[in-house]
Amino acid sequence: MDQLPLRDLHLPESIGWWPPAMGWWLVLGLFLMLGIGAFLSIQRHRRATPLKRAFEALRELESRTDMKAEERLQSISAIIKRFALSIAPREEVAGLSGDAFFEWIKARINDQSFSSSRLEGLTTSPYRRVSQDLDLELLMSDCRQLLTALQKNQRRTSFWQRDGQSFKPRMDLPPT
């Protein structure tokens, strides 16, 4: 029998590592999106919110021992006012003081744990004489609770104003 002239088997070239298969591109894209999402989430968490800034100002006020009680009360009132200005429209809050500011805060919080006397003490005490039995630690604690309650109950529609069943943009604020 005659042998046929056959050549050896040729194996295909080995598969290179580049370009990767489609699955690896998807995994890379998924990791990139997770990384960007984690970065943005961390940045959002670290952002200085009005509540964080107000608490920081209160901590700084507590650490100062050289202030008189009247000055402390005025500083607490200023912190509450700055916080209110940061969560509500400027036209609504800027001109309020004393009893008008007290009524504005009372309308904004729905917290039944705040008695009117505690709330009034926080908002109107800077405009009155300071009594000797004033507990500044209790006042600071009340201020923290008030700020937290205001933050929790702030309106979510600062740019969009409720108009019947639909939302329409407020024309007095520029779009952000």
Question: Structural domain boundaries of the chain?
Answer: 50-155
Q: Quick check: 125 and 98 in contact, CB under 8 A?
A: no
Query: Would you state the pLDDT for residue 73?
Result: 82
pTM: 0.61
- Which one has a higher pLDDT value, 119 or 148? 148
Q: Is the pLDDT of residue 176 over 50?
A: no
| Largest Cα span, the chain | 125
Q: Tokens at residue 65, please?
A: 């021992």
Query: Would you state the pLDDT for residue 64?
Result: 87
- Which one has a higher pLDDT value, 68 or 163? 68
Query: Would you state the pLDDT for residue 115?
Result: 64
Q: Please write the tens of the pLDDT for every residue from 47-77.
A: 888 888 999 999 998 888 888 878 888 888 8
Q: Which residues contact residue 134 at a Cβ distance below 8 angstroms, ignoring those fewer than 6 apart?
A: 69, 125
145 exposure class (CB count in 10 Å sphere: 0-12, 13-18, 19+)? middle
Integer Cα distance of 80 and 78 in angstroms = 5
Integer Cα distance of 1 and 167 in angstroms = 94
Confidence of residue 111 (pLDDT cuts 50, 70, 90): low
- Which one has a higher pLDDT value, 175 or 148? 148
Of 64-73, 84-93, 165-174, which range is least confident?
A: 165-174
Residue 153 identity: N
Q: Is the pLDDT of residue 149 over 70?
A: yes
Q: Is the pLDDT of residue 163 over 50?
A: no
